[in-house]
Structure 1
Amino acid sequence: MQNNEIIKPAKYFSELEKSILLALVEKYKYVLECKKSDARTIALKQRTWQALAHEYNSQPSVSLRDFKQLKKCWENIKARTKKIMAHERREKVKRSISPLLSTQGIGKEKIASMLPEQIYFLQSPPEEESEYHPDTANQEPFPVSSRELCEEEKELIHFPVCEGTSQPEPSCSAVRMTTHKNFRSRASQESALKKMHEEEHHQQMSVLQLQLIQMNEVHVAKIQQIERECEMAEEEHRIKMEVLNKKKMYWERKLQTFTKEWPVSSFNRPFPNSP
């Protein structure tokens, strides 16, 4: 292959290129997937896509792409993931297995985590999970009898009994169900709080990265401006030196002409009418 030949980029994205693109989109997802549509946000998204394209093209074993091609590829991946998630939701309701679910694209869960506000209705909540798992149902972590478990749970939850009335004591299954629901609610709240903190941290990191990119752009622009001012000052200095050299040459030639016409010895001769 000759040195002056240009290597054209591949028409389709490979799996490696898609994985690199997904990693970079996840890095800047809080800016790229922002719902705002004002002019400032649009300009910020465009600068972010340009920075993402620069990082993408600096990776090894990838074809050179511009930010428009990367953005179009990401939109196609999102549309394909939404379609697969919707199909999975319908098939889960029907309790059947679809061949499309076995041939999913790369990183469906990863892409779904990047779009929490867009496809939240496609994900089934944990409370609706009614599938039976025989492997997990048969496993018991500790050999505790049901009687001991019931007594232990009764100690945790106390039900008030009014005097003069006789209320039936709650059954073991009811106590266990109430405790399990409380535990699940606390666990879901803690996980939601943890996820919110993580998203806030990622958003702050994305904002800091964009601020660093903007500061770098301002720094580069200042350096270029200083270089242009130095070049202009050097050019102005060169022009002034040329003008001064021309003036010097002019006066030197004029002095030579004057000395030829009026030599110094002519001033030492006496006047003709002197005594």
Structure 2
Amino acid sequence: MTPPIAWCNTHLAPHLVAVAYTASLLFEEEWRYRARLSKLPTWTLTLAALGHDVGKAAPWYQEEAVSRCSRGWNPSFTLHEVLSSMVIAWLGASGAVDREPAYVAAIAVWEHHHGMPGRLAPLLTSINAASKSRYAEALRAGFEALLHTLDFARSTALVRHLELPPIGERRRQVLIPCHSRKALEVVENNPRFSAAASSIAGFLAVADTLVASIERNPGKPVEALRGRYVYRYLKELMGGETPLSRLLKFVTSTVLAIHEEYRRWVDEQPR
């Protein structure tokens, strides 16, 4: 397959791996504590991070993105997080991974761009107006993008510390589409799961913004972040400008290395 893009000149898979790496780097200790309280496996955060943008792989998003990038315009992936959430919920409903952590990850992804239920209606309207095959095609594309990302993550030593979700022998079966509302019911009816989903959504928002700033401005990530809430948050988290600068330098080098390794990995794959 042609690897999908996250935006112009940036492939989707290394972006997802970079966000998973960054979320783990920044929040691993806090997440392990919250995961114990919620009785969730620690790979729940990794699943959410690796899947948070897979909805962008939907064919209509990719076609529009390639077209806009060729004109020098920024692509639009409006409501992609809802499709991403559906893909992850799909994994839990099918038994490809444990249901509860998949549903928590799905709701966290749904929320990480503030994709609350009110934002679902426009997407469902467009899906209902389209054929069911178009809907299934979008979910399948997102699922394949997630598998592709997992394959890459398993291949690189740069993220060997990550506990990857155990999507094993059953991973390539034809899954039954699952509506994210079922995941929402499961999570909302359990305060522990609801709190965990909110925490993961926050972790993703910070890691995603940081990684995107690096990918779009690799030479000046500090300037790209300055003035944004993430910069203020990280400055407080790290205890000042100097330690934050060191963190950004380290994360930048790793994110760029992930992208470089991905390019080599893709070139080595059988055609």
Structure number with greater Rg is 1
**TM-score normalized by structure 1?**
0.23
Q: Higher relative contact order by CA 8 Å / sep ≥ 6: 1 or 2?
A: 2
Normalising by the residue count of structure 2, what TM-score does the alignment of the two structures yield? 0.23
